[in-house]
């Protein structure tokens, strides 16, 4: 289950993609007008659909029954690409094949006409990992590829690409998916798998996925593989190791109440229970930041409603109305220092303990 869930529910057509409408709409338009560029760059965070859309685009370029820019997903060409049997769709992991020899091999393959399809499509993932010499070897082919060749480059770090590469491609920037988009997909999977799950589970998984649908689907797969057909909130917290929002609210309450003893006890309880204190600190910083946002905006529900369950949003609004921004800024700055100190501290919980004592004076 953990291995097949993501593959099983991987979108097969543009209309099934969530969260990247600006990309799919433009690509479909290019296909319908027959104005497809020779090279594309898909840039954005991990798990946001770059490789999936690259595969769909490659399929659409070669589909025998393309309709309104959508591959039919039924013809022999579409089926061959879906089953990774097409010799004309070449996927390359740039992190593992980053040298000049691999690029020379790509150039040799590109010279040969496609054996079955209209286009030979090279999908190079993590393209920023290529060496400088490899990039230079690719430039000429990237600028003037044979008529039967298309390139789709994907990266999470576009700033590492040479300007000469960026100038030769049509770039699309992928965005992180919203909580609502991730939750919608998780609910679809659970319904399809005939699994019962408490509603809050979807929110917890989506929040911790930080905009990556792939990460969310992997977490759900792990949960299903352990819990079976019925998943509870307690199981989700234990199995996935996520830190509940309640813990951040509790820590902030103790700091604002100047409760040094309670704060130190909480930190040690978290450490003993195996919580990653770096992740906890990151979460507490982010939680405090959202309270500052709630203070600054006219409608916290409109700005933060997708990021919190109703009871947590009520807490955020309450604290925002009672605490001063200067106090929150002090807490955040101190926690940022803690995040740095945790890397070198000989006692894991010491930086947080000192911060609690400092902030709760």
Q: Write out the chain's pLDDT in tens, 361 residues.
A: 444 677 888 999 999 998 899 999 999 999 999 999 999 999 999 999 999 999 999 999 999 999 999 999 999 999 999 988 998 999 999 888 778 888 888 888 888 887 778 999 999 999 999 888 888 888 888 888 888 999 999 999 999 998 988 999 999 999 999 888 999 999 999 999 999 988 888 888 888 888 899 999 999 998 988 888 888 888 887 888 788 788 898 999 999 999 999 999 999 999 998 889 999 999 999 889 888 888 887 776 666 656 666 667 777 888 888 889 899 999 999 999 999 999 999 999 999 999 999 998 8
Q: What is the 3-state secondary structure (H, E, C) of 98-122?
A: CCHHHHHHHHHHHHCCCCCCCCEEE
pTM, two decimal places: 0.82
Cα–Cα separations (whole angstroms), residue 124 to 12, 120, 143, 169, 268: 19, 13, 15, 13, 46
Confidence at residue 266, expressed as pLDDT on a 0 to 100 scale? 96
Q: 5-173: what CATH class?
A: alpha beta
The CATH code for residues 179-240 is 1.10.8.60
- Report the run of H or E that residue 195 belongs to, with start and end: none
Say which CATH class 245-359 falls into: mainly alpha
Give the pLDDT score at 72. 95
CA-to-CA dists, residue 132 to 129, 135, 154, 160, 271, angstroms: 9, 5, 17, 10, 44
Helices (H), 112-232: 132-143, 163-166, 179-192, 199-209, 213-227
What residue spans define the domains of the chain? 5-173, 179-240, 245-359
The confidence score (pLDDT) of residue 306 equals 64
Residue 3: what pLDDT? 47
Q: What pLDDT is stored for residue 308 in this prediction?
A: 63
* Geometric angle at alpha carbon 132, from 128 and 138, rounded to 5°: 80
CA distance 251 to 257: 10
């Amino acid at each position: 289950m953990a291995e097949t869930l993501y593959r099983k529910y991987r979108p097969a057509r543009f209309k099934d993609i969530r969260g990247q409408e600006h990309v799919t709409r433009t690509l479909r338009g290019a296909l319908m007008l027959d104005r497809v560029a020779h090279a594309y760059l898909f840039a954005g965070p991990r798990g946001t659909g770059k490789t999936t859309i690259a595969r769909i685009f490659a399929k659409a370029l070669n589909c025998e029954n393309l309709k309104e820019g959508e591959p039919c997903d039924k013809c022999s060409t579409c089926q061959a690409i879906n089953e990774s049997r097409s010799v004309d769709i070449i996927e390359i992991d740039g992190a593992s094949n980053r040298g000049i020899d691999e690029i020379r091999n790509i150039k040799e393959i590109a010279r040969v006409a496609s054996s079955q399809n209209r286009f030979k499509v090279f999908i190079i993932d993590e393209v920023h990992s290529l060496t400088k010499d490899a990039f230079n070897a690719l430039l000429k082919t990237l600028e003037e590829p044979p008529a039967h060749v298309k390139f789709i480059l994907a990266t999470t770090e576009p700033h590492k690409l040479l300007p000469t590469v960026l100038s030769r491609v049509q770039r699309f920037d992928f965005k992180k998916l919203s909580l609502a988009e991730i939750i919608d997909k998780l609910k679809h999977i659970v319904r399809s798998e005939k699994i019962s799950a408490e509603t809050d589970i979807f929110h917890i998984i989506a929040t911790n996925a930080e905009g990556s649908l792939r990460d969310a689907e992997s977490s759900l797969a792990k949960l299903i593989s352990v819990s079976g057909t019925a998943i509870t909130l307690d199981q989700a917290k234990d199995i996935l190791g996520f830190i509940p929002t309640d813990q951040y609210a509790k820590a902030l309450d103790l700091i604002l109440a100047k409760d040094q003893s309670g704060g130190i006890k909480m930190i040690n309880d978290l450490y003993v229970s195996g919580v990653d204190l770096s992740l906890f600190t990151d979460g507490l910083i982010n939680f405090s930041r959202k309270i500052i946002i709630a203070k600054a905006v006219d409608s916290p529900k409109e700005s933060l409603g997708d990021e919190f369950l109703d009871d947590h949003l009520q807490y955020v609004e309450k604290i925002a109305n009672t605490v001063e921004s200067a106090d929150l800024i002090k807490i955040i700055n101190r926690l940022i220092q803690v995040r740095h100190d945790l890397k070198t501290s000989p006692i894991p919980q010491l930086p947080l303990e000192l911060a609690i004592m400092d902030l709760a004076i």
